[in-house]
Amino acid sequence: MTKFIVVASGKGGVGRTTTAINLATALNSFGREVILVDANLSTPHIGIYLGSTKVPVSLHDVLSGEKHIKEALYQHRNGLKVIPASISIKNLKKIKPNLLEKYIQELTGSAEIVIVDSAAGLGEEPLSAIKACDEVIIVTTPDLASVTDALKTIKLCEEHNKKIFGIIVNKVKKDDFEMAKENIEFILENTVIALIPDDDTVRQSLYLKTPVTYSHPNTPAAIGFKKLAANILGEKYVESIEKKDTMLDIILKSIGLKP
């Protein structure tokens, strides 16, 4: 049985794509068959974040009826299978987001878990991604605007009978100016399943065009995403005592010369 999980949020820029990429990479590194889909059709970032902005076949070609979804499947050098979306405005104009559900469901049987990165907001695009999946992970940052918008996304999911797997609070600084986990849970009436620290290595991994769980596996953000992956699998995360990567290791990994 394939499980379809969408990573959603009301507000933009809170870390949906970062979460989707790193959750998928961590699940893959735990030996699970995973496919990551970029369903942010108007402003897709997965290809940009993973260093392949131009691909012969994208999700847009699938949605326009020109290609089968399996023809848009690629493998990142870290082993993760990805279905990227096109960054071209021309391609955006030729598709209908409401077909997402039909085509994403065609991945049934191709992986154990499909992680879907969605667009922000409450419009047709994020709704199509939500409808295509069984469970929803809501990403928010610990501030009132983001939490308020997360509440709207939760209501939208409830209207469509989608199960909220839990809330991820991202970019946590643990200072006096952010909302406490308990307040977020009270407002959203759902459990916070991960607190991901605001960690500069996320920006560094973006520069290297690789997930932070791959390039910097022992940093606080990477460990946060790996714990989340273990949680989704219903397993306990055991911190490995692998040696820390040197700068040379990080560079070799980023160019695919080190596993």
Ligand X SMILES: Nc1ncnc2c1ncn2[C@@H]1O[C@H](COP(=O)(O)OP(=O)(O)OP(=O)(O)O)[C@@H](O)[C@H]1O
- Residues of this chain that interact with ligand X (CB under 6 A) are 9, 12-18, 40, 43, 45, 120, 170-171, 196, 198-199, 202-203, 206, 221
- At residue 204, the 3 state secondary structure works out as helix
How is the beta sheet containing 135-140 ordered, strand by strand?
74-75, 81-83, 34-39, 113-118, 3-8, 135-140, 163-172, 192-197
Pairing of strands 74-75, 81-83: antiparallel
Q: In this chain, which stretch among 27-35, 40-48, 89-97, 201-209 interacts with Mg ion, using CB under 5 A?
A: 40-48
Task: Determine contact, residues 13/26, Cβ cutoff 8 Å.
Answer: no
Residue closest to ligand X when measured from CB atoms: 12
Looking at residues 129 to 188 of the shown chain, list those that interact with Mg ion (rule: CB under 5 A).
none
Nearer to ligand X, 65 or 123 (CB): 123
Whole-number minimum distance, CB 258 to Mg ion, in Å?
Answer: 28
Minimal CA–CA distance to 140: which of 150, 130, 154?
A: 150
Cα(77)–Cα(59) distance, integer angstroms: 20
Out of ligand X, Mg ion, none, what residue 130 binds, judged by CB under 5 to 8 A for its kind, is none
**Considering only 39-47, 60-68, 165-173, 192-200, which stretch makes contact with Mg ion by CB under 5 A?**
39-47
CA separation for the pair 12, 126 (Å, rounded): 11
Stretch that binds Mg ion, among 14-22, 28-36, 50-58, 183-191 (CB under 5 A): 14-22
CB of 56 to ligand X, least distance (A): 24
Q: How far is the CB of 123 from ligand X (least distance, A)?
A: 13
User: Which residue, 15 or 109, has its beta carbon nearer to ligand X?
Assistant: 15
- The H-assigned helical ranges of 160-246 are 181-188, 200-207, 212-215, 220-232
> Closest approach of Cβ 80 to ligand X, in Å?
16
Residue 17 in the binding site for Mg ion (CB under 5 A): yes
Residue type, 211: P
45: contact with Mg ion by CB under 5 A: yes
- Angle 140-4-151 from CA coordinates, rounded to 5°: 25
Q: How far apart are CA 85 and CA 70, in angstroms?
A: 13
Taking the complex as a whole, the smallest distance from the CB of residue 45 to Mg ion amounts, in Å, to: 5
Minimum distance from CB of 103 to ligand X (Å)?
A: 20
Question: Rule CB under 5 A: which residues touch Mg ion?
Answer: 16-17, 45
